[in-house]
Amino acid sequence: MTAIDARVTAEQNTTVPSPFPPIAQYAFLSDCHTGALVAPDGSVDWLCVPAFDSPSVFGSLLDREAGMFRFGPYAIAHPTARVYRPGTNVLETTWRTTSGWLLVTDALIIGPREGADTVTPHTRPPADDDAAHLLVRTAVCLKGQVELEMVCEPVFDYGRTPAAWALAADDPSIAATVNGSPDLRLRSDLPLGIEGTRVRGRHVLHAGERAYCTLSWADPSRVPPDSSRAHAMIEATTEYWRTWLAGARIPDHRWRDPLQRSALVIKGLTYMPTGATVAALTTSLPETPGGERNWDYRYTWMRDTTFTLKALHWLNLEWEAEEFMQFVADVEATEDGSLQIMYGIDGRRDLTESTRDDLSGYDGAQPVRIGNGAFDQRQNDVYGSVLASILLHTRHSRRLPRRLWPIVVSQAECATAVWQEPDQGIWEARGEPQHYVSSKLMCWVALDRAATLAGIRGDSTRAAAWRDTAEQIRADILAHGVSERGVLRQHYATDALDASTLLAVLFGFLPPHDERLHNTVEAIATELTEHGYVLRYRTDETDDGMSGKEGTFLICSFWLVSALAATGRLDRARDMMERLLTIASPLGLYAEEFDAEAGRHLGNFPQAFSHLALIEAAGRIILSELLKEL
């Protein structure tokens, strides 16, 4: 049975339909300060303002009582079609009712203010002139007539504080919250009425007629006063995204659409004020349906972001690398000079985790976590991720910025100091520390890249010392990290497999023809897969401190594609890539995991990890195809 067949069967067998839409049914909007998830019925079920990691005002994603904002035809829940405007994060939803057709367009507004210079692909937008802190929703009746409904019911602080509204005394088309944090301002050309904690508007549109509503949480001067300005702002936002995307070098290939969508998702997960990226838009979408593997991903992991830069590099998008290097240069290291494994998007260090037991969780998956307890973990792969991206950036820009050299030195020293120590590993296991092979091989990456950087800087003493340490690490891994059958292990005390050892291929730890690499890739492809998709490890073989079985991990599946391509098995790589592309959400998005049994996405959404690995996998195959043609 294919994954799609399984999904159809699972849906047919469901007797009581869940009130929560499947994760993959959500559309993603972004203004590079925050993002929204729009359900198929036209309801914004997730929005945190003003920033990605702020408390939610619309939190129906995690509890049906925690706030929503619907704009669509009255009493109709299923749209006819949903698409992004090509090359943008602007959503268009088409509805067919018994009496007519309606088109709704949704965007979080981003781009230069009116009158400001147009943004060109490689020019940074003027400071804080990027997001209008405004959600704009427009509707046009395409045919016949349609009764349009708007219901706006925010609940502040993750569903804790219902909104109190007041209509503006001088303008009844404006409703503002009077107890909000921040204050919200709703404007529409529909007649507005306050019903307790919600504002509602309803109106019949005839063919050719338009309507709009906007919700703002900052500067009221940027709120469009009428439908035509609302429409113009959506056009400007469309232009903004297309202009940004035009700066990417995306090959003219059949995978152009998924590559573009992935680039737009990653850019949409970037917090423009600091250049940090969030790992995903959401918190606590479950990795195990109904289970406890629920995490808050609205933070910046050094690992995730540096992998992101590597992916953007494939698309020649270097501006983001420049921004993130500045973020790295600015963040505060810990006392021993090491970087934390993750930070807040504003660079803050304390991400203490708490649970919100008053929320039902997505489809009953509890707890809902705010903050992430992994923030002070020791994960020794981080130094390698950071140094690999500094080297990539240096090669691309043909210079090693002076401000980055102290980071090179401190990260190389940290890797030297810790590579022999056990850690929590790349998967942030909450069990006992172990000698994870992928952590050690990323320490090898750290010293290998640091040695190259020292050579570029002309520091031959450090270059030689770091090269020497890199060789010691390599020897240690080959002595203790390879099982008797010649496969890289998860950690030194087990023969269990772990998909993170595929990083040995991706970071060039051994030459591509090395037998141990081939054995590892084959073992993962055949023994660590479900329906052809890759698990990061088997939860029954690994103590990660959690209960419940999780889905297959999408980054690992794309890593396998990259590894197959890098080790010369191009046909298999291509086949697997095509299969992975078929399981994208209807709008081309990926969550963190895929439940291959039930054919559904699991975990936080959309997830940078999955999209960045898609870009690298596609890039490697396309490059190999080109090289073969030469």
Residues of the shown chain interacting with ligand LLGJG24Q in the complex, contacts defined by CB under 6 A: 279, 295, 297, 301, 303-304, 372, 374, 426-428, 430, 544, 609
Nearer to ligand LLGJG24Q, 230 or 280 (CB): 280
Nearest-approach distance from CB 333 to ligand LLGJG24Q, in angstroms: 19
The whole-angstrom separation of Cα 307 and Cα 464 is 27
Per DSSP (E only), the strands in 78-162 are 81-84, 91-96, 100-110, 131-153, 155, 161-162
Nearest-approach distance from CB 312 to ligand LLGJG24Q, in angstroms: 17
CA R_g for the chain:
25
Contact 61, 45 (CB under 8 A): yes
What HEC string does 163-197 produce?
A: CCEEEECCEEEEEEECCCCCCCEEEECCCEEEECC
Nearest-approach distance from CB 597 to ligand LLGJG24Q, in angstroms: 19
Nearer to ligand LLGJG24Q, 310 or 518 (CB): 310
Nearest-approach distance from CB 430 to ligand LLGJG24Q, in angstroms: 5
Nearer to ligand LLGJG24Q, 297 or 343 (CB): 297
Nearest-approach distance from CB 564 to ligand LLGJG24Q, in angstroms: 22
Nearest-approach distance from CB 303 to ligand LLGJG24Q, in angstroms: 5
Nearer to ligand LLGJG24Q, 239 or 346 (CB): 346
Nearest-approach distance from CB 352 to ligand LLGJG24Q, in angstroms: 12
DSSP code per residue over 261-303: HHHHHHHHTEETTTTEE-SBS-B---SSTTSS---B--SEEHH
Nearer to ligand LLGJG24Q, 282 or 520 (CB): 282
Residue located via tokens 């990259």: 562
Residue located via tokens 């406890």: 292
| Bridge partners for 136 per DSSP | 107, 214
Nearest-approach distance from CB 167 to ligand LLGJG24Q, in angstroms: 43
Pairing of strands 27-30, 100-110: unpaired
Nearest-approach distance from CB 555 to ligand LLGJG24Q, in angstroms: 8
Nearer to ligand LLGJG24Q, 65 or 544 (CB): 544
Contact 559, 552 (CB under 8 A): no
Q: Which of 367, 266, 356, 282 is nearest to 46 (CA)?
A: 282
Nearer to ligand LLGJG24Q, 297 or 594 (CB): 297
Nearer to ligand LLGJG24Q, 138 or 372 (CB): 372
State the angle between helix axes of 405-418 and 437-457 in degrees (0 to 180), rounded to the nearest 10.
140
The whole-angstrom separation of Cα 91 and Cα 102 is 14
Q: Which of 126, 71, 59 is nearest to 104 (CA)?
A: 71
Nearest-approach distance from CB 349 to ligand LLGJG24Q, in angstroms: 16
Encode 79-97: b = buried (16+ Cβ within 10 Å), e = exposed: beebebbebbbbbbbebbb
